[in-house]
């Protein structure tokens, strides 16, 4: 391992490498020029190599010196993992086997609104859970108590509900708690019956059944974001039920969009039973939202 990623010491160590040997350079982010995509720093990185291979899909949405800048000075190509990520995610966007179901969760509509807007014309069904479902429920005029919701995204939710009401599937029942705590008092109620002072922390059993029914016939599924606060055992049932449902789809392409969803399939013990667990949470979201990934745009086509 080199004590730095640029400079005379690193270059000298590269020069004495024998065929088949590998050198690991020190953390790039010790240099502020990395995140600034500084041209001089990118040129210094390129000085020790003949070709650049990017196999870090999880960083491909960042325009940094090591992900984008270095491609100005070296032939830049995709690694095997990068190729698999782009192939599977790209196939889901361009020509997916149908029915195509998108399953979105996590905390905020603001995190996923671009994904919904880009995918909504491509999918057959959108299953929405997690904290982001609360904003949609509130946009329908339902009381969500003290649940996390985004007042500034209600108009976005209303527009999507009005335009795509046949595709969007929201929770019919939810698990609520009187506080955000694993030891909180909890119970299941209909999605329109959340009392004041309580908060939604998971989807309920009826919703789990509905979501599983939609997933059962799917040929392509993209999942990004948990259905509840799965880190707390009392509110993990929805997320783990979805994970197991995807694992049972032996004839479908099932893509897990990194981050918490990847952690959920690992904890559920089914990571090896889905088609692909993405290594890039942020990158997969950017890709599914139809945005250009700087670290991909600079790669050679052939």
pLDDT at residue 83, as a whole number:
96
What's the structural domain count of the chain? 2
- Say if residue 59 is in the same domain as residue 112: no
Find tokens 């690991």 and name the residue: 24
Asked, for residue 88, whether it belongs to a domain, the answer is: no
- Say if residue 64 is in the same domain as residue 142: no
Measured between its terminal Cα atoms, the distance across the chain in Å is 31
- Say if residue 104 is in the same domain as residue 237: yes
**Backbone angles phi and psi of 93, in degrees to 5:** -85, -30
Find tokens 């929770």 and name the residue: 171
- Say if residue 143 is in the same domain as residue 238: yes
Report whether the peptide linkage leading into residue 99 is cis, meaning its omega lies within 30 degrees of zero: yes
- Say if residue 131 is in the same domain as residue 218: yes
Q: Are 94 and 250 in contact (CB under 8 A)?
A: no
Find tokens 């309920």 and name the residue: 204
- Say if residue 33 is in the same domain as residue 141: no
Q: Are 298 and 68 in contact (CB under 8 A)?
A: yes
- Joined together, the tokens standing for residue 85 give 């990520």
- Say if residue 167 is in the same domain as residue 75: no
Q: Are 99 and 218 in contact (CB under 8 A)?
A: yes
Beta bridge partners, 103, equal: 127, 223
Helices 259-267 + 281-288 axis angle, to 10: 120
Cα distance between residue 218 and residue 153, in whole Å: 29
pLDDT at residue 264, as a whole number:
95
Q: Are 202 and 174 in contact (CB under 8 A)?
A: yes
Asked, for residue 269, whether it belongs to a domain, the answer is: no
Asked, for residue 258, whether it belongs to a domain, the answer is: no
- Say if residue 104 is in the same domain as residue 76: no
- Joined together, the tokens standing for residue 114 give 């671009």
3-state secondary structure of 223: strand
| CA nearest neighbour of 254 among 97, 125, 124 | 97
Asked, for residue 106, whether it belongs to a domain, the answer is: yes
CATH number at residue 26: 3.40.50.1260
pLDDT at residue 23, as a whole number:
96
- Say if residue 247 is in the same domain as residue 102: yes
User: What string of pLDDT tens digits covers the 302 residues of the chain?
Assistant: 999 999 999 999 999 999 999 999 999 999 999 999 999 999 999 998 999 999 999 999 999 999 999 999 999 999 999 999 999 999 988 889 999 999 999 777 777 778 888 888 899 999 999 999 999 999 999 999 999 999 999 999 999 999 888 999 999 999 999 999 999 999 999 999 999 999 999 999 999 999 999 999 999 999 999 999 999 999 999 999 999 999 999 899 999 986 889 999 999 999 999 999 998 888 888 898 889 999 999 999 87
pLDDT at residue 282, as a whole number:
84
Q: Give residue 129's domain range.
A: 98-251
């Amino acid at each position: 391992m080199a004590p730095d990623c640029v400079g005379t010491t690193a270059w000298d160590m590269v020069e004495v490498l024998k065929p088949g040997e590998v050198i690991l350079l020190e953390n790039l982010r010790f240099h502020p020029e990395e995140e600034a995509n500084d041209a001089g720093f990118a040129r210094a990185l390129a000085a020790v190599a003949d070709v650049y291979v990017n196999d870090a899909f999880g960083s491909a949405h960042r325009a940094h010196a090591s992900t984008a800048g270095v491609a100005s000075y070296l032939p830049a190509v995709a690694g095997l993992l990068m190729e698999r990520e782009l192939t599977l995610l790209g196939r889901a966007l361009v020509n997916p086997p149908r029915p195509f179901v998108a399953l979105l969760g996590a905390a905020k509509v603001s995190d996923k609104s671009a994904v919904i807007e880009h995918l909504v014309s491509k999918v057959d069904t959108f299953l929405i859970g997690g904290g982001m479902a609360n904003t949609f429920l509130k946009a329908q005029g339902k009381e969500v108590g003290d649940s996390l919701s985004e007042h500034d995204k209600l108009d976005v939710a209303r527009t999507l509900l009005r335009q795509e009401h046949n595709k969007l599937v929201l929770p019919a029942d939810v698990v609520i708690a009187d506080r955000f705590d694993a030891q909180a008092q909890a119970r299941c109620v209909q999605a329109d019956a959340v009392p004041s002072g309580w908060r939604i922390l998971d989807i309920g059993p009826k919703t789990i059944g509905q979501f599983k029914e939609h997933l059962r016939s799917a040929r392509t599924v993209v999942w990004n974001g948990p259905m509840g606060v799965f880190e707390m055992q009392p509110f993990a049932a929805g997320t783990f039920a979805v994970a197991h449902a995807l694992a049972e789809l032996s004839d479908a392409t099932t893509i897990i969009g990194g981050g918490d969803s990847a952690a959920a399939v690992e904890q559920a013990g089914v990571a090896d039973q889905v088609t692909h667990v993405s290594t890039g949470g942020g990158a997969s979201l950017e890709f599914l939202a139809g945005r250009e990934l700087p670290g991909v745009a600079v790669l050679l086509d052939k």
